[in-house]
Structure 1
Amino acid sequence: MIAFIFDLVLFFLTKSRINSVSGGSATMGIGIWLTLAAWICLFFAGCFYGLGRCCIRRRPRDRDWQNKDGPGAENGFAEQMRLDAVKAEADRKARQKQGE
């Protein structure tokens, strides 16, 4: 917003000098309107970010939401994956032993 105000002030100062010196005319260009559009986009982005941070929560509020059994405990998915890997390794060794 400050950049937009700065652009407007500089434009009107420049326009007044051009009109007083040469009698020409100056018109607002696309740059001023692009600055305004950028400020509007940034404003809405900030609003949506704040709304998302305050109102939308996907995780439970407790700090230890992954470790339900206390600090240092593995979550259920990781424990299941570990057990599956141990079982697959035992099956591989059993098949290898039968082949010998």
Structure 2
Amino acid sequence: MVKHSRGYRTRSRSLLRKSPRERGAIPPLSRLMVDYKEGDQVVIKINSSVHSGMPHRRYQGKVGKIVGRRGKAYMVSVSIGDKQKLIIIRPEHLVPFSPTR
């Protein structure tokens, strides 16, 4: 018998699962071409088919603020509870924030 994997990705299968029509697809270019400025708000939406620059699953769905750039990735400030975290995320996992009222 093979030992059960206890990594954090095994506990996020349903969270990061794509629908059958989206499976294996690369992100649309319009999502990659967005140029975020410092102070812009973004939603962290993890694309499970792109592994580079992928944040931890605890940040899925969180709204953060762009602090700066590091190479092709963005530095995003996110509040988790009473703490401020600075995480580095590639643009494949970011969506512009638009508050709907």
TM-score interval w.r.t. the shorter chain?
under 0.3
Instruction: Give the TM-score of the pair, scaled to structure 2.
Output: 0.17
Query: Which gives a bigger RCO, structure 1 or 2 (Cα 8 Å, sep 6+)?
Result: 2
The structure carrying a bigger helix percent of its residues is 1
Instruction: Give the TM-score of the pair, scaled to structure 1.
Output: 0.18
Point out the structure with max Rg over C-alpha: 1
